[in-house]
Amino acid sequence: MAQAVYLWEMEQILQQIEAYKSEMAAFEAATPDAVEAFRIKYLGTKGLVKSVLGEMKNVPPDQRKDFGQVLNEFKAFAEARYEVLQSAAAPVNAAANAGIDWSLPADPTELGTRHPLSIVRGQMVSIFRRLGFAVAEGPEIEDDWHNFGAMNLPEDHPARDMQDTFYVKEGSENQSAWLLRTHTSSVQARVMETQKPPIRVICPGRVYRNETISARAHCFFHQVEGLYIDENVSFADLKQTLYFFVQEMFGKEVKVRFRPSYFPFTEPSAEMDISCQICAGKGCNICKHTGWVEILGSGMVHPKVLENFGIDPEKYTGFAFGMGVERIAQLKYQVNDLRLYSQNDVRFLQQFKSV
């Protein structure tokens, strides 16, 4: 009779175990908190697994072995389910289960490049700095005086025309006109206004001219102008400085030639050509089969310009020059269309990655 009671009780316990197992199998835990709730309910010190194990004491000795196996298997089932829930709820482990290896290196990010004009301006500035030139900057919106008047451009000079220059504000009898600077000479004017010789500056910056946009012309471009004023500055200094510059820029093999020219702000004036970098002087389309390409304008600062700033032209002389950054970049990197510089086409820009 006693035997029958045990059997009945054991049957009940086994049924209960099966019920708990299907309950555990169906248990979903999306968060670590829910996983912890599972642990407390089934595996905690007052949990269901412990309480079923506690039934062991009521099992008759000859059946303890079999029953012990059932209970161990039940406990292992609960622990295995707990582990599965735990790894599913932890995000990194979830990723690991999804086959993601977090120890792999990240996808490479596309690096941008410096703009070719920034690269070339940087090279130009660095060469002149080594010769002792300081960098000066100034406003892009200028008054009539700093852009034109001080530079000895007469009132009726064609560059002053509305057709050639962007005016922000027209001038009147007692008000100066405001305009977008047409060269960075205006910055040098501001340097001469505030500093005494010796003056040795270069002025890199954006300048504006009213041009129809094409492969060869744009309404804005970039310039580096230079100015050196001291006692006994000669045309020989001008030539040697500019020769050194192009040798550093294009290599020691480069040849130069000077052609007489005219600018209102210099006297005498000269344009400088270098041997064509494409055909090395043999003759090609770029140099129009002359072997030479023009790269800059230069000259000895006009005495009128010095006087405009109270610098005595009997005591001081100076040379000045101006060149386009686009032009230098074109010759160095064979950029054949000015518009490329401002279109921001990454296929163009990416080509300067290795420079």
Nearer to ligand 2NL, 24 or 227 (CB): 227
Structural tokens at position 47: 């949990």
Give the DSSP per-residue string, 165-201. Answer: S-EEE--BTTB--EEE-SSTHHHHHHHHHH--SSEEE
- Please report whether residue 297 would count as binding ligand 2NL according to CB under 6 A: yes
Q: Does 301 bind ligand 2NL (CB under 6 A)?
A: yes
**186 interacts with ligand 2NL by CB under 6 A:** no
Identify the residue among 147, 165, 185, 317 touching ligand 2NL (CB under 6 A): 185
Q: Report the length, in residues, of the chain.
A: 355
Site string for ligand 2NL, 78-117 (x = CB under 6 A): ----------------------------------------
Q: Work out which of 133, 322, 326, 328 binds ligand 2NL, going by CB under 6 A.
A: 322
Calpha distance 338→327 (Å, rounded): 9
**Which CB sits closer to ligand 2NL, 81 or 302?**
302
Distance CA 192, CA 213 (A): 34
Return the closest-CA partner of residue 13 out of 75, 65, 66, 67. Answer: 67
> Does 182 participate in binding ligand 2NL (rule CB under 6 A)?
no
Query: Among residues 116, 197, 204, 324, which is the contact residue for ligand 2NL, using CB under 6 A?
Result: 324
- What does the DSSP 8-state code read for residue 302? P
Instruction: Report if residue 316 touches ligand 2NL, rule: CB under 6 A.
Output: no
- Write down the residue that tokens 């206004």 correspond to: 193
| Binding of residue 197 to ligand 2NL (CB under 6 A) | no
Query: What is the C-alpha to C-alpha distance for residues 306 and 89, in angstroms, rounded to an integer?
Result: 80
At residue 271, the 3 state secondary structure works out as strand
Neighbouring residues of 87: CB distance < 8 A, sequence distance ≥ 6: 93, 94, 96, 97
> In this chain, which stretch among 58-66, 129-137, 279-287, 299-307 interacts with ligand 2NL, using CB under 6 A?
299-307
Asked if residues 269 and 299 have their Cβ atoms less than 8 Å apart, the reply is yes
The answer to whether the beta carbons of residues 355 and 256 sit under 8 Å apart is no
Which listed residue (147, 165, 182, 188) binds ligand 2NL by CB under 6 A?
Answer: 188
Q: Is 144 helix (H, G, I), strand (E, B) or coil?
A: helix
Of 88-96, 98-106, 182-190, 233-241, the segment contacting ligand 2NL by CB under 6 A is 182-190
Q: Does 204 bind ligand 2NL (CB under 6 A)?
A: no
Residue 323 binding ligand 2NL, by CB under 6 A = yes
Q: Which of 78, 85, 305, 325 binds ligand 2NL (CB under 6 A)?
A: 305
User: What does the longest C-alpha to C-alpha distance in the chain come to?
Assistant: 137
- Residue entry with tokens 């100015």: 227
Kindly state whether residue 320 participates in binding ligand 2NL, applying the rule CB under 6 A: yes
When asked if residue 317 is in the footprint of ligand 2NL (CB under 6 A), the reply is no
Residues 207-266 that bind ligand 2NL (CB under 6 A): 223, 225, 227, 263, 265-266
Q: Which residues bind ligand 2NL (CB under 6 A)?
A: 185, 188-189, 223, 225, 227, 263, 265-266, 297-299, 301, 305, 320-324
